[in-house]
Amino acid sequence: MERHYGWVIVAAGALITCLAMGAMFALPVYLQPISEQTGWSRAGISGAMTVGFVVMGVAGFIWGTLTDRIGARPVVLIAACLLGLGLFVASRADNLLVFQFAYGGLVGASGGAFFAPLIATTLGWFDKHRSLAVSLVSLGGGIAPMTITPLATILIENFGWRDAMMMTAIAATVLIVPATFLIRRAPEAVATAPTPASDVAPAEPRPPNMAAIFRTPQFFILAGVFFLCCAAHSGPIFHTVSYAMLCGASALAAASIYSVEGFAGLFGRVFFGLLADRIGVRRVIVGGLALQALGIYLYIYVSELQHFYMLALVLGLVYGGVMPLYSVLARDYFGPQVMGTVLGGITMTSSIGMAFGPLGGGFLFDTFGNYHWLYVTSAFIGLGAAALALAFPPRNEDTTPASAVPA
């Protein structure tokens, strides 16, 4: 029963990430109503998300390091309360700076506490099927656009954006807090077992502390690829709802594109997780990043709703499937003892990458009056991510440790 408790961690993690990430990343559907009611610029409102990504990255590093010391449960509990407070203050803000502080600062700080702590804990519970387990935890992020985003759209239409955001703040806090008490550390014997299907060369010797981690080539490549991957897709994810509305889609139909991406991401997480357990996580990441870049570029040819849906299926499948696998790669490189710190570090770089998309997309729209150059720029950044991923040190099959070979 103790070994099977890992699947309880997976279920709790999926629920928590759905509620937390859904509440935070619903801002795109608030963008137009907020701008119309307050007169704030799209770039200014998007800037709250940019601030949120930066703060989330820095906080994620701190939360991850703290998780290595005290465990994930107290970290996630504090973050749940911080999330509710930030959304509530943002919903009442009459000043753009206050809104940016609440949504970007408080909500962003809470967001950093959900990825690294939950994923690090999940990785510790599985000696097999690690890629699948992590991908299933991240299903919450895929379900969120299918549930929280449409719900937020309906609430906005019926109650206005302020009350909709306040209701989300209360509901997210009330639901996340009880789920937090299901989170606990893994038994040592399971946490330290190697990943049987690993296709990468681990850092040798295993880095014992933070300074040693940051000196390894594995960390630099992993953080760089994660940064470029997120810089590539954050702008298209954030601004596609607005782009579809400019092309004539209704608010609810445009929001449903976001939901289609999330729906496709559910299958992407499971499929990519199973595939990575079978052929190796490095190969899957490289192929996925190349396909993501192509999908982003194709947006410049899209104007009809059905075409938005088709691309949303592809991109949701790919980036939804690739994103969880960075943590598995980190586990294979560095082992479980410093997993919170490693995941916090790469989350910090990825969040900085995510920060460029919303603000950059808003700036490009305000400058050129369209989103053409957002998608072109993002596609080239995505190709850079795929190219850098080729530098991941592969495992030498002739020197694969016996402990890493499945019985």
Matching residue, tokens 């681990």: 202
Matching residue, tokens 């703060």: 55
* CATH number reported for the structural domain that contains residue 386 in this entry: 1.20.1250.20
Matching residue, tokens 């070994």: 3
Amino acid, res. 332: D
Q: Which of 36, 257, 7 is nearest to 126 (CA)?
A: 7
Q: Which of 195, 185, 229 is nearest to 389 (CA)?
A: 229
Cβ count within 10 A of residue 294: 15
Q: To the nearest 5 percent, what fractions of the chain are helix, strand and coil?
A: 80, 0, 20
**Quick check: is 336 in a domain?**
yes
Q: From CA 79, how far away is CA 17, in angstroms rounded?
A: 12
- Are 375 and 300 contacting, i.e. CB atoms less than 8 angstroms apart? yes
Q: From CA 110, how far away is CA 32, in angstroms rounded?
A: 25
Q: Which residues of 121-157 are buried (b: 16+ CB within 10 A; e: fewer)?
A: bbbbbbbebbbbbbbbbbbbbbbbbbebbbbbbebbe
Q: From CA 397, how far away is CA 76, in angstroms rounded?
A: 39
Q: From CA 390, how far away is CA 394, in angstroms rounded?
A: 9
**Quick check: is 397 in a domain?**
no
Range of the domain at 315: 3-180+207-392
Q: Which of 344, 289, 190 is nearest to 281 (CA)?
A: 289
**Quick check: is 138 in a domain?**
yes
- Are 374 and 358 contacting, i.e. CB atoms less than 8 angstroms apart? no
Q: From CA 230, how far away is CA 233, in angstroms rounded?
A: 5
Reduce the DSSP state of residue 183 to 3 states and report it: coil
Q: Which residues of 60-92 are buried (b: 16+ CB within 10 A; e: fewer)?
A: bbbbbbbbbeebbbebbbbbbebbbbbbbbbbe
What pLDDT is attached to residue 404? 38
Q: From CA 121, how far away is CA 67, in angstroms rounded?
A: 9
**Quick check: is 281 in a domain?**
yes
Q: What are phi and psi of 47, to 5 degrees?
A: -60, -30
Reduce the DSSP state of residue 200 to 3 states and report it: strand
Q: From CA 47, how far away is CA 66, in angstroms rounded?
A: 28
Structure tokens at 88: 């509530």
Q: From CA 299, how far away is CA 382, in angstroms rounded?
A: 14
**Quick check: is 199 in a domain?**
no
Local structure of residue 107 (DSSP, 8 states): I
What size, in residues, is the chain?
407
**Quick check: is 129 in a domain?**
yes
Indicate the number of domains in the chain.
Answer: 1
Cβ count within 10 A of residue 56: 30
Reduce the DSSP state of residue 393 to 3 states and report it: coil
- Note down pLDDT in tens along the chain; length 407 residues: 456 788 889 899 889 988 988 888 888 888 889 988 888 887 788 888 878 877 887 888 888 888 888 888 999 999 999 999 999 999 999 889 999 999 989 998 998 888 778 888 888 887 777 778 888 887 777 677 677 878 888 899 899 999 999 999 999 999 999 999 998 887 764 444 545 555 555 555 566 566 677 777 788 888 899 999 988 988 888 888 888 888 888 877 887 887 788 778 888 888 888 888 788 888 889 999 999 999 999 998 988 888 899 888 988 888 888 888 888 888 777 776 677 778 878 878 887 787 788 778 888 888 888 888 999 999 999 999 999 988 877 654 433 433 333 33
**Quick check: is 271 in a domain?**
yes
Dihedral sign for Cα atoms in the order 43, 48, 51, 53:
negative
Q: Is residue 305 packed enough to be buried (19+ CB in 10 Å), middle (13-18) or exposed (0-12)?
A: middle
